[in-house]
Amino acid sequence: DTGVSQNPRHKITKRGQNVTFRCDPISEHNRLYWYRQTLGQGPEFLTYFQNEAQLEKSRLLSDRFSAERPKGSFSTLEIQRTEQGDSAMYLCASSPGTFSGNTIYFGEGSWLTVV
Amino acid sequence: TQLLEQSPQFLSIQEGENLTVYCNSSSVFSSLQWYRQEPGEGPVLLVTVVTGGEVKKLKRLTFQFGDARKDSSLHITAAQPGDTGLYLCAGISSGSARQLTFGSGTQLTVLP
């Protein structure tokens, strides 16, 4: 399968713990995005990379959140000192270029439950 | 903040019926996309509409972009149980070509 791969698919953690999610985009896609989706809502943009450069961050991305894409390939999203409000599905997506003329492909998401 | 409102939020219909889902905004988008999302999976792109007034058809699905590029609709003819899912519209603004603004979605259930 050459789609966007995310792991772990599910994570249950205690409040205050740190969690890290990994995303492997489609090979040679230079753009990578992170979104967050809660039940009953559409995905909300968190951040965007072009190659290894993080070019945009949403105000939703508090200081407890950090995303990296060190070699321009896979990306990690770390949440420190998790809170119950962080419970959501974290979606990764990639595309070869701009949206116009290029499809964005989403992974299956990583579900986070903070108890 | 650009907002996309979808209606209805929930829709449950019988197989064979027709339905329309609406996506409205006060903002202008350079293009708009429709996605379908099934439980436990990420959204999958159905269509992109770019030109005001544009109509695109995908088998039994018809997508329309409003003349002013602020609204869109998705019409499904003769719905099938396989059409069940969360339908999301997403706008792309000319100011930022790097992020999608999603609507809250319409959860469609087609009963056999």
Cα–Cα distance measured from residue B110 to residue A73, given in angstroms and rounded to the nearest whole number: 40
Q: What is the pLDDT, as a whole number, of residue B1?
A: 55
Q: Residue B92 above 70 pLDDT?
A: yes
Q: Comparing C-alpha atoms, which of B112, B111, B104, B97 is closest to residue B43?
A: B104
Q: Residue A1: its pLDDT value, please? A: 54
CB contact under 8 A, B98 and A48: yes
Answer whether residue B79 shows pLDDT above 60: yes
User: Which chain B positions have a beta carbon within 8 Å of A44's beta carbon?
Assistant: 102
Residue B3: other Cβ atoms inside 10 A: 12
Contact A98/B at CB under 8 A? yes
Short-list A2, A61, A39, CA closest to B107: A39
Q: What is the pLDDT of residues B5-61, one digit of tens each?
A: 999 999 999 999 999 999 999 888 888 999 999 988 999 999 999 899 999 999 999
Give the pLDDT score at A60: 82
pLDDT in tens, chain A (115 residues): 579 999 999 999 999 999 999 999 999 899 999 999 998 889 999 999 999 999 888 888 889 999 999 988 999 999 999 999 999 999 999 988 765 556 889 999 999 999 9
**Which of chain B's residues have a Cβ under 8 Å away from the Cβ of A107?**
42
Nearest CA in chain A to B51: A100
Question: What token pair was written down for B87?
Answer: 């339908």
pLDDT band at B98 (very low <50, low <70, confident <90, very high): low
